[in-house]
């Protein structure tokens, strides 16, 4: 059942063909663990460029949480509108809003914030070296 949910999420995010490929890569990576995970790049629906990730790691979970489960979407319409209003007021005053993504992982949330608030400056902090490398690549 868990694999079916994962397959569905991958198809929703990457499209039918790329989603199936990503799922098969993930299954293979779970069967053969490596100390140096292979890096892949896949297109996520609604994202203008491919996202680099390591199959068989938590990278997939980060992508799914941000883009499929909409973890950073604000469920309260009123709160969401007040944040949009604040953002628009800042921009109208010539200010550049600042968003700090602490624990940037591979950059999925930073990408989401940059797409949602395109005139904001997004700073991502990630101490783990391999994650930081992918984060830099993904937000470039």
- Locate 41 and state its tokens: 């790049």
Q: Which residues contact 46 (CB under 8 A, 6 or more apart)?
A: 67, 115
**pTM of the complete model:** 0.75
Q: What is the pLDDT of residue 102?
A: 93
Q: What is the pLDDT of residue 35?
A: 52
Q: What does the pLDDT profile of the chain (140 residues) look like in tens digits? A: 566 677 678 778 778 777 777 776 766 655 445 455 678 898 888 888 999 999 888 898 899 999 989 999 998 999 999 999 999 999 999 999 999 999 999 999 999 999 999 999 999 999 999 999 999 999 98
Q: Residue 48 and residue 53: Cα distance in Å, rounded?
A: 16
Q: What is the pLDDT of residue 27?
A: 62
100: which strand partners?
A: 123
Q: Residue 42 and residue 110: Cα distance in Å, rounded?
A: 17
3-state secondary structure of 119: coil
Q: Which long-range contacts (CB under 8 A, 24 or more apart) does 6-11 make?
A: 6/60, 6/64, 9/64, 9/68, 10/60
């Amino acid at each position: 059942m868990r694999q079916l949910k994962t397959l569905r999420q991958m198809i929703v995010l990457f499209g039918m063909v790329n989603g199936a490929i990503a799922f098969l890569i993930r299954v293979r990576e779970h069967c053969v663990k490596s100390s140096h995970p292979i890096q892949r790049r896949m297109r996520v629906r609604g994202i203008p460029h491919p996202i680099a990730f390591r199959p068989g790691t938590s990278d997939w979970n980060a992508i799914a949480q941000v883009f499929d489960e909409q973890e950073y979407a604000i469920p309260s319409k009123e709160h969401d509108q007040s944040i949009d209003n604040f953002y628009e007021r800042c921009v109208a005053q010539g200010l550049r809003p600042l968003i700090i993504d602490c624990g940037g992982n591979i950059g999925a949330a930073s990408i989401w914030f940059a797409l949602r608030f395109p005139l904001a400056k997004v700073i991502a902090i990630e101490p783990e070296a391999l994650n930081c490398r992918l984060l830099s690549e993904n937000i470039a």
